[in-house]
Structures are given as structure tokens and as C-alpha cells.
Amino acid sequence: GSALWETVASALGARRVARRGRVMPDGMRTPRVTLLLGQHGWVEQVDNGIRYTFDVTKCMFSPGNITEKLRVASLPCSGEVVVDLYAGIGYFTLPFLVHAGAAFVHACEWNSHAAEALHRSLLLNGVRDRCRIHGGDSRQVSAAPGGRGSPARGPPLTPLSSSCSCGIPGGPARPPAQHGGDETPGARLRPEWQSWAEATARRIQGMLAELHGRPWRSSVLHVEAVKSYAPHVHHLVLDLECRPVLP
């Protein structure tokens, strides 16, 4: 019973104990965590000088995207307004604000528990006044004409998501060797990755042209290989520069 977990906590110098299971395959990647000792699951994680807080029974923390968090933190974003789709607990929202110097971030997130964690982390890092959290599905919240966070009536925005970002310069992909993958540091961009990047650029270019009723141009600037999940399954980030074609 509880005596066992109190003994475990005492031996580890902890006040709370939880049992972690597999992440649920739902749209919010909900963790399966059972609190065995303690009254709440809120914890704090320091990552690259940024303080993240979240409830381990409601949200997960992914350390696997650290290379991309470091890359985002190094970008020169002074004076920029950024839209972070699928913001989660602030993996990229916080580096943009704390290290990259973004003037303002619109963070879109449909998981209310993650949004609450992001709100608390913004306060912890002293950047709450430079971020607006938009609750709901990013496909509606960020794209509805004149809606909350819509670029149609706001200042010039730099769209960003975990799989597509705009206006960020970079060189060839640098896939890291992780999880038993066959990549080596400094490996060249794979042809299938380049094909995916170009197809994605064309798709987004068409979406922008349809949305605005005028031609757009999209240019592939950089493809970053973050990690591989399994053989032939990769997490890639695509940097695009998207601009309307002037008459």
C-alpha cells in the first residue's frame, strides 16, 4: 500500500511517486500515468535554460526534439511575430520568446491541459505578455478568415508548425544517428526527403493561392532531420519561404 511508495520516495529523496505507461495513440498523445503517492502531478523541467512546467498525468514531455529546440532558440527573430501551430506545452513557443527574441507568439493548441501548462511556463519565464494562447483545432483557429490569430487582419506573421516553418535560412540537412537508424552526421539530403519537401512546398503554395485569390511563391530553404522513429520513419522539419507574387 502507501507505506511501500513512501519508502520508495524516501529512498529516492522524492515527495511523489507515479507509474508511467505507454502514451495513448490519441490526437493529444495523452500519457498513461498513475499517481501512487502525492496530491498532484505538476513537475518542472529545465531545458536549455528554459523552465517548463506540466502535469505528468495530463501531458508528456518529449526530450527527443532537443536538436530542433536548440535550432529554434538560435534563430534571429528579433521583432518578428510568430504563429506556433500545435504549440503543446511550449516546446518551440518558449525558445522563440526566451532565446530567439521574437516580439510576439500566437500559440495554437487544442489540448486544454497543454495550454494550461504553457500558460504557467510563460509566467515562470517572464514572457507571458508576449504570447497569446489560442485554444482549439489549429485548422480552424489559425485559418478562419478574420478569426482569432488569423493573418488576414493582423501584422505580417511568420507561420510555424512542428513540420513546416517559413523564412528561416539554413544549409543541407544534418540527420543525427539515433534510435538505431542508419544516418551519419553530415549525411547528404536524401532524394526522397527532397521530393517530400518539394511536394509539400507545392501543396502549401496552392493552398495560399486559393486562400488569398492570388498567386504565391514558395521556396524550400532547408530540410532538417530531427530523428528517426524506426527504419524508414523519420521526423523532418521543412523551412519554407512563402511570399505573394507581386503584380
Q: How far apart are CA 247 and CA 236, in angstroms?
A: 34
Residue 189's contacts (CB-CB under 8 Å, 6 or more residues apart) are 172, 173, 223
| CB 160, CB 82: distance < 8 Å | yes
pLDDT tens per residue, the chain (247 residues)?
A: 889 999 999 999 999 999 999 888 888 888 999 999 999 999 999 999 999 999 999 998 888 788 899 999 999 999 999 999 999 999 999 999 999 999 999 999 999 999 999 999 999 999 999 999 999 988 887 654 444 443 333 434 444 433 333 333 333 333 333 333 334 334 478 899 999 999 999 999 999 999 999 999 999 999 998 888 788 888 899 999 999 999 8
| CB 2, CB 37: distance < 8 Å | yes
DSSP per residue over 20-45, as a string?
A: E-PPPSSTT----EEEEESS--EEEE
| CB 107, CB 133: distance < 8 Å | yes
Q: What is the pLDDT of residue 60?
A: 87
Residue 111's contacts (CB-CB under 8 Å, 6 or more residues apart) are 28, 59, 88
Length of the chain counted residue by residue: 247
Q: What is the pLDDT of residue 142?
A: 64
Q: How far apart are CA 68 and CA 242, in angstroms?
A: 21
Q: How far apart are CA 121 and CA 51, in angstroms?
A: 6
| CB 88, CB 54: distance < 8 Å | no
Q: How far apart are CA 148 and CA 135, in angstroms?
A: 10
Residue 38 backbone phi and psi in degrees, to 5? 120, 170
